[in-house]
Amino acid sequence: MIDWPGLTLDENAEVFYYFSMNTDELRSKYIEFFISKAHAQIQGKSLLPDNDPTVLFTTAGMHPLVPYLLGEEHPAGKRLVDYQKCIRTGDIDSVGDASHLTFFEMLGNWSLGDYFKEGAIEMSFEFLTSPQWLGIPLEKLGITVFEGDQTVPRDEESAVVWRRLGIPADRISYRPRSDNWWGPAGTTGPCGPDSEMFIDMGKEPCGPDCAPGCSCGKWLEIWNDVFMQYNKTAEGVYEPLARICVDTGMGIERTVTILNNKKSVYDTEIFTPIIGAVEKAAAYTYGVDPEKDRSVRIISDHVRAATFVLGDPKAVSPSNVGAGYVLRRLIRRAVRHGRKLGIAGLVLSPLARVIIDQLKGPYPELVENQGYIIAELDKEEGKFLETLQKGEHEFEKLLPSLLKDPRKTMSGRLAFKLYDTYGFPLELTQELAAEQGFTINRAEFDEAFKKHQELSRSGGEQIFKGGLGDQGEMAVKYHTATHLLHKALRMVLGDHVAQKGSNITAERMRFDFSHSAPLGADELERVQAIVNEQIRRDLPVTMAMMSLDDAKASGAIALFGEKYEFQVKVYTIGDFSKEVCGGPHVEHTGAMGAFKIQKEQSSSAGVRRIRAVLE
């Protein structure tokens, strides 16, 4: 349906823009426009979503808004606008071409039971075409709408609005569910058709059926309006939702590329400072050698993504699991390509400083966490350079027996062992093998790697339900239990304890918190006893709306490195706990069941993790 990160334009694409625009101007104009339309600006959220086990990272601008799209009242009201940092890693191996990105920014506006198709489309049209805003000529705009199927009718309502605004019928394309539908695939929940906006890039049509939505390169998507108007039941019936919502998304990098008529996102002012720093370090001029250009793009993208992950208020450190594994892979892939360019010494932290300076305005957390970003990049880069040396040594030890094989083929399983045990990249093993005149059994390597692959892809394109992994009874109980556990840990260990993340399913909860040492058996028993005492007391759970300053003054606990709206929800559990939180929660603690800690362990440097169940 939508593939925002990056794009490449046809080399013969004509200049069409009304005026060029950089990222700061686009971000500012988008927010200004929707504020003028009575939207409240809200803050973008963390790259590391809480309580959603289906994804490792925030993968779309709407991800943090899902609980409100599902029915919760948002503190800022019914009309919202923001910009959101996102990461998608499903195509990490494709980064290096002229279009794919790992980190990207999304602009979004939302209606939570307020305006619907007509209002959303009219505002989208005005922002795209008005000379005051983007100024894209009307004749360059093409539209797609949902064509309908046996379960849901054609979205003629959206088509009528577009025609009224001046889009000719031959530039309104009716597309199938695979192109113009948002919603849970094979599951239940809110869903609906979408209407996508495309720019005609001036390329000749690929055939008589070429229309907006065609993938030949003539039409490039710039914006997407999603109309959530149905609820898919367990029986597969699409029932009208009581509260219909609008969710929109516009990719900053893609839009800036289009507005400035650049052939690639890497040619825009987003990447030119980073690429310039890589050129200087490598003593290489970008654009001369396609293979070296690929390495430059990989380094630029991956350091940018790693800088944002490390600079996040909920930052993880490089590790071998989950988001930490993806971060480690990004860093090590960048180091590997720096080595291919002949860069000596540490290369990543100087590039991170360029990125921090470039984006410190919209993302001040990068400056606040600069020391941690630089230290972690230097540490991981140094460790990986040692890994490369060890891997090369191990390869040299294998070489005598490999050279005796008349087939001149190295086992793929052996190559994977070098990768899995020593972190030694396959492409480097292939290079070393080629120098000795033999190849690697790639099919065997791929088979061994397949089981390992899920770790790197689990942060990519997945359908999420948002907020909690689900909104079911047990997940809500576990979410409430995180509040009790947080307070109990502070009582036993001290006020330095702060929540660093949580992961909740209907079967269990994981809770990460700041603490430097393992908990002793007596400490775990005390924490568990305190939580169960509050459950036995059957405390009421209440919610109040207040300003963030008032919430702090009232003693409410919050992750104050995180960004919050001016108005926040404060949940109070009897006389025991008070936290800033989006919810949902049980009404009384007595409904939760017995709390039992199953395991306590290290999560990352200075962060511990508790796994617990409700019985």
CA 294, 296, 301, 305 dihedral sign is positive
Going from N- to C-terminal start, the domains of the chain cover: 23-267, 272-457, 473-614
Q: Distance of CA 351 to CAs 47, 99, 274, 314, 315, Å?
A: 20, 20, 6, 22, 19
pLDDT at 81: 96
Q: What is the mean pLDDT of residues 546-562?
A: 77
* Percent of the chain clearing pLDDT 90 (strictly above): 48
Does the structure show a pLDDT above 80 at 197? yes
Res 4: pLDDT: 40
Please give the C-alpha separations between residue 210 and each of 33, 204, 272, 428, in angstroms, as whole numbers: 33, 9, 34, 43
The predicted model gives 536-561 an average pLDDT of: 83
DSSP of 397-444, one letter per residue?
A: HHHHHHHT-TT-EE-HHHHHHHHHHH---HHHHHHHHHHTT-EE-HHH
Q: What is the mean pLDDT of residues 222-229?
A: 93
Q: Give per-residue pLDDT as tens, 349-400.
A: 999 999 999 999 999 999 999 999 999 999 999 988 888 888 888 888 888 8
Judged against a pLDDT cut of 50, whether residue 2 lies above it is answered with no
Other residues' Cβ atoms within 10 Å of the Cβ of residue 589: 28
The confidence score (pLDDT) of residue 408 equals 85
Range with the poorest average pLDDT among 47-56, 193-202, 426-435, 483-492: 47-56
Which residue has better confidence, 133 or 413?
133
pLDDT, residue 454, reads 52
Q: Which of 277-286, 304-313, 378-387, 400-409 has the lowest mean pLDDT?
A: 400-409
CA nearest neighbour of 438 among 406, 405, 402, 408:
408
pLDDT given for residue 446 in this prediction = 86
Do residues 296 and 271 touch, judged by C-beta distance below 8 A? Answer: no
Instruction: Tell me: cis bond preceding 584? Omega within 30 of 0 counts.
Output: yes
Closest CA to 84 of 37, 22, 31, 32: 31
> What is the tens place of the pLDDT at every residue in 228-268?
998 888 788 888 888 899 999 999 998 998 888 888 899 99
What percentage of the chain carries pLDDT values higher than 70?
90
Which band of pLDDT confidence, cut at 50, 70 and 90, is reported for residue 6? very low
* The pLDDT of residue 337 is above 70: yes
Q: How do residues 439-453 score in pLDDT, each as one tens digit?
A: 898 888 888 877 665
| pLDDT at residue 93 tops 80 | no
Q: Which residue has the higher pLDDT, 553 or 470?
A: 553
| Torsion-angle region of 339 (φ positive above 0: left; ψ -120 to 50: alpha; else: beta) | alpha
Reported as a pLDDT band with limits 50, 70 and 90, residue 54 is low
Is residue 470's pLDDT more than 60? no
What is the pLDDT at residue 465? 41
Output the pLDDT for position 566: 67
Of the listed ranges 47-56, 452-461, 541-550, the one predicted with least confidence:
452-461
pLDDT at 1: 37
Q: Are 330 and 299 in contact (CB under 8 A)?
A: no
Q: Which of 551, 483, 359, 497 has the alpha carbon at shortest distance from 50?
A: 483
Query: What's the CA gap between 478 and 550, in Å, rounded?
Result: 27
Give mean pLDDT, residues 176-202. Answer: 84
In this prediction, residue 223 has a pLDDT band, given cuts at 50, 70 and 90, of very high
Confidence band (pLDDT; 50, 70, 90) for 535?
A: very high
Provide the pairing of β-strand 577-580 with 567-573.
antiparallel
Superfamily of domain 23-267: Bira Bifunctional Protein; Domain 2 (3.30.930.10)
Q: How confident is the model at residue 12 (pLDDT cuts 50, 70, 90)?
A: very low
Judged against a pLDDT cut of 70, whether residue 409 lies above it is answered with yes
Higher pLDDT, 573 or 320: 573
The correct answer on CATH 3.30.980.10 for the domain covering 473-614 is yes
DSSP letter, residue 496: T
Q: In this predicted structure, what is the pLDDT of residue 18? A: 46
Residue-wise pLDDT tens digits, 138-180: 999 999 999 999 889 999 999 999 999 999 999 999 999 989 9
Q: What is the pLDDT of residue 469?
A: 47
The mean of the pLDDT values for the chain is 86
Q: Which of 9-18, 281-290, 369-378, 515-524 shows the lowest per-residue confidence on average (mean pLDDT)?
A: 9-18
The residue-averaged pLDDT of 303-318 equals: 91
**505-509, 535-539, 576-580, 593-597: segment of lowest average pLDDT:** 505-509
Residue 171 CA to residue 371 CA, distance in Å, equals: 51
Between the ranges 65-79, 340-354, 395-409, where is the mean pLDDT highest? 340-354
Amino acid letter, residue 605: A
Q: What integer is the mean pLDDT of 505-511?
A: 84
What does the DSSP assignment read for 537-606?
TT-BEEEEEEEHHHHHHTT-B--TTS---SEEEEEEETTTEEEE------SBGGGS--EEEEEEEEEETT
Closest C-alpha among 483, 495, 498 to residue 572? 483
d(CA 437, CA 433): 6
- The residues near 242 (Cβ < 8 Å, ≥ 6 apart) are none
Q: Which residue has the higher pLDDT, 357 or 202?
A: 357
Most distant pair of Cα atoms in the chain: their distance: 77
pLDDT for the residue 157: 96
Alpha-carbon dihedral sign for residues 372, 377, 378, 379: positive
What pLDDT shows up at residue 451?
65
Judged on CB neighbours under 10 Å (0-12, 13-18, 19+), 260 is middle
Q: What angle do CA 88, 89, 94 make, to 5 degrees?
A: 115
